[in-house]
């Protein structure tokens, strides 16, 4: 694949894309409220958040399809706001594939190159290279209608990258695919991005998808950034209650629940479901408590429990449960946790750093 494969580590830490103070108004509605972040060259950066949080507006603003009300966007030192969309040298992969049904796979991929007046011999080489990267070489002469949804989306990826853009943008590219195909193609997208070494910004509302493929994740809500970090930081050290609850499942409970001491500044404790465990009946240590089972779901490699305890509805996730484990609704069980696994938030929903709770 000639010179497309580039080591990602060489570019680590270098600000390649820089978004500063991005603001976007639609009448009285603020879609982006002073968003700032950087993306390194070769980095896979994901914008994650619920519908309407501003992530697609931000992506379209970087591409030039939507003009910011205020702010600055630079790519490799170039101010993009002064550059029209078709000259920004940015590749875009859309949710709905956006491929031409009357053109063959090869002609779809070649479309952008022909528009750029690239020589025919070079077009042939670059299309072959792109199709090989997305594993569609054997299907080059087929029409899109003869392909699966995943194969059609790979056409879109090949077409976006064949022009060798400086930046690749992907707007929920897997949302129209079934669950199994989503899992397969998300790994393919990540492998392709690593192979070509291009900086990529990926938009999704799927938390698991973001955790699985990202170098860093930017969690957004209501037009603002809640937190930017690695998948491990976003899941394990959420900066706000919103991040804690949106990314994965989080049990939230009052500061005095389950015998916990009063800690200044802590308005709410939080605990991931996998940090709760079944305890021996009658256990009486200060991190054990009784609860009534509402629901029990056995999933083979794990089991999920919904439990009512001390006025709180908690979710517990039991890893590698015994094959004969079955807990009927209404049964009283004992659960426990390690206090070191607790996370704390203040009244404004911001993470509070506390010493280990005694």
Give the tens place of pLDDT for each residue, 89-133: 999 998 887 889 999 999 999 998 988 888 999 999 999 999 998
pLDDT of residue 358: 58
Taking the CA atoms of residue 184, residue 214, residue 224 and residue 234 in that order, the dihedral angle to the nearest 10 degrees is 110
| Mean per-residue pLDDT, 240-262 | 93
Q: Which residue has the higher pLDDT, 9 or 50?
A: 50
| Token pair belonging to 147 | 């392909």
Instruction: Report the mean per-residue pLDDT for the chain.
Output: 90
Q: Where are the alpha helices (DSSP H) in 17-165?
A: 55-63, 105-115, 120-133, 149-162
User: How many Cβ atoms sit within 10 Å of the Cβ of residue 210?
Assistant: 25
What is this structure's pTM?
A: 0.89
| Residue-range domains of the chain with CATH | 9-245 (3.40.50.300), 250-352 (2.40.50.140)
pLDDT in tens, 283-341: 556 688 999 999 999 999 999 999 999 999 999 999 999 888 889 999 999 999 999 99
Under a CB-based contact definition with an 8 Å cutoff, are residues 266 and 254 in contact? no
- pLDDT of residue 24 exceeding 70, the answer is yes
pLDDT band at residue 357 using 50, 70 and 90 as cut-offs: low
Q: How far apart are CA 148 and CA 279, in angstroms?
A: 48
Find out whether 255 and 262 touch, Cβ atoms under 8 Å.
Answer: yes
């Amino acid at each position: 694949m000639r010179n497309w494969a580039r080591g990602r580590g060489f570019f680590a830490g270098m600000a390649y894309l820089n978004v500063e103070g991005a603001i976007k108004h639609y009448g009285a509605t603020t879609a982006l409220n002073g968003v700032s972040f950087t993306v390194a060259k070769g980095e896979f950066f994901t914008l994650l958040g619920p519908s309407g949080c501003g992530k697609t507006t931000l992506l379209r603003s970087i591409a030039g399809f939507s003009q910011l009300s205020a702010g600055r966007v630079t790519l490799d030192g170039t101010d993009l706001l002064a550059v029209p969309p078709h000259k920004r040298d940015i590749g875009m992969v859309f949710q709905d594939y956006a491929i031409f049904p009357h053109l063959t796979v090869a002609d779809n991929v070649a479309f952008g190159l022909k528009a750029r007046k690239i020589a025919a011999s070079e077009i042939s080489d670059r299309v072959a290279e792109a199709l090989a990267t997305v594993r569609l070489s054997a299907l080059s002469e087929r029409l899109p209608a003869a392909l699966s949804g995943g194969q059609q989306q790979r056409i879109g990826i090949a077409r976006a990258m064949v022009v060798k853009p400086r930046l690749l943008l992907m707007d929920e590219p897997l949302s129209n695919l079934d669950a199994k195909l989503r899992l397969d193609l998300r790994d393919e997208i990540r492998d392709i991005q690593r192979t070509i070494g291009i900086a990529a910004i990926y938009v999704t509302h799927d938390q698991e998808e973001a955790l699985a493929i990202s170098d860093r994740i930017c969690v957004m809500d209501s037009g603002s950034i809640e937190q930017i970090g690695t998948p491990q930081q976003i899941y394990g050290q959420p900066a706000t209650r919103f991040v804690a609850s949106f990314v994965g499942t989080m049990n939230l409970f009052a500061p005095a629940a389950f015998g916990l001491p009063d800690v200044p500044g802590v308005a709410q404790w939080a605990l991931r479901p996998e940090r709760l465990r079944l305890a021996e009946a009658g256990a009486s240590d200060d991190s054990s408590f009784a609860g009534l089972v509402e629901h029990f779901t056995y999933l083979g490699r794990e089991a999920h429990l919904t439990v009512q305890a001390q006025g709180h509805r908690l979710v517990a996730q039991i890893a590698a449960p015994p094959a004969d484990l079955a807990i009927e609704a209404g049964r009283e069980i004992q659960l426990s946790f390690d206090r070191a696994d607790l996370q704390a938030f203040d009244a404004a929903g911001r993470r509070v750093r506390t010493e280990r709770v005694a």
